């Protein structure tokens, strides 16, 4: 669940944002509903995704979290997913990356599917926090669900 600073919170799922339907319980529609997107999400009472319906007809918007906890739309962004142990996963456009190594100038990440799919996609973040993505993925993104409690759960 992300706060936009105004109105109802958005649900963020695989890089897409959803707005709560004012009538439905736990029903969220893609923020691009007015543009004809039919994707929608139903949450169960615990805040987990119960159902995902419809396909998006557009690429995901890109959001970045600012220091005060609000999210802003920008063109190129990434976020971190806390893990139970070790370094957090890096998430870029719905794909997750595992920490590889750090140098004074860059932090290197490899695709979290590297072991299972031999995906060659890796990326690095420079000292200023800019993301440099190097290669294309050879697979679809894993499906992670952000819960309203700020934790993540992998659903596929
Ligand atoms: Zn959509
Ligand atoms: Zn990959």
Q: What is the pLDDT of residues 48-80, one digit of tens each?
A: 888 889 988 877 776 555 555 555 554 356 777
Residue 88 lies in a domain: yes
Q: Residue 63: its pLDDT value, please?
A: 57
Number of Cβ within 10 Å of residue 116's Cβ equals 9
DSSP designation for 35: G
CA of 134 to the centre of ligand 2 (A): 11
Q: Residue 38: its pLDDT value, please?
A: 92
If one compares 103 and 14, the residue with the highest pLDDT of the two is: 103
Residue 146 lies in a domain: yes
CB-based contacts of 100: which residues, under 8 Å, 6+ apart?
108, 109, 110, 122
Q: Residue 48: its pLDDT value, please?
A: 80
Residue 100 lies in a domain: yes
Q: Residue 141: its pLDDT value, please?
A: 76
Q: Residue 144: its pLDDT value, please?
A: 63
> By the 8 A CB rule, do 53 and 40 touch?
yes
User: Has this prediction a pTM greater than 0.85?
Assistant: no
In the predicted model, what is the mean pLDDT of residues 16-20?
84
Residue 123 lies in a domain: yes
Q: Residue 75: its pLDDT value, please?
A: 38
How far is residue 16's CA from residue 60's CA, in Å, rounded to a whole number?
A: 5
CA-wise closest residue to 51 among 25, 32, 73, 75: 25
CA of 109 to the centre of ligand 2 (A): 11
Residue 120 lies in a domain: yes
Tally of domains in the chain: 1
Confidence at 131, pLDDT banded by 50, 70, 90 = confident
CA of 85 to the centre of ligand 1 (A): 33
CA of 96 to the centre of ligand 2 (A): 8
If one compares 23 and 151, the residue with the highest pLDDT of the two is: 23
CA of 60 to the centre of ligand 1 (A): 7
CA of 36 to the centre of ligand 1 (A): 8
Residue 101: pLDDT over 90: yes
The proportion of the chain whose per-residue pLDDT surpasses 70, expressed as a percent, equals 71
CA of 67 to the centre of ligand 2 (A): 28
Residue 124: pLDDT over 90: no
> By the 8 A CB rule, do 2 and 19 touch?
no
CATH of the domain at 80: 2.20.25.240
If one compares 77 and 83, the residue with the highest pLDDT of the two is: 83
Residue 80 lies in a domain: yes
Enclosing domain of residue 96? 76-154
Residue 32 lies in a domain: no
Angle at 45 between CA 39 and CA 51, to 5 degrees: 25
Please report which ligand is nearest the Cα atom of 28.
1
Number of Cβ within 10 Å of residue 60's Cβ equals 17
Residue 89 lies in a domain: yes
CA of 116 to the centre of ligand 2 (A): 10
Please report which ligand is nearest the Cα atom of 57.
1
> By the 8 A CB rule, do 63 and 72 touch?
yes
CA of 48 to the centre of ligand 1 (A): 19
Average of per-residue pLDDT values in the chain:
76
């Amino acid at each position: 669940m992300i706060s936009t600073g105004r109105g109802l919170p958005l649900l963020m799922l695989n890089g897409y944002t959803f707005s709560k339907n004012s009538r439905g319980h736990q029903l969220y529609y893609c923020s691009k509903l007015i543009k004809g997107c039919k994707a929608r999400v139903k949450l169960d009472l615990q805040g987990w995704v119960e159902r995902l319906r419809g396909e998006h007809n557009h690429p995901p918007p890109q959001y970045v979290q600012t220091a005060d906890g609000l999210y802003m739309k920008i063109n190129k962004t990434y976020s971190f997913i806390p893990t139970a142990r070790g370094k957090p996963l890096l998430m870029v456009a719905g794909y997750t990356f595992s920490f590889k190594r750090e140098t004074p100038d860059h932090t290197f990440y490899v695709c979290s599917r590297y072991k299972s799919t031999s995906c060659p996609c890796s990326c690095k973040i420079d000292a200023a926090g800019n993301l440099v993505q190097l290669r294309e993925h050879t697979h679809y993104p894993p499906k992670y669900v952000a819960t309203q409690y700020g934790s993540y759960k992998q659903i596929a």
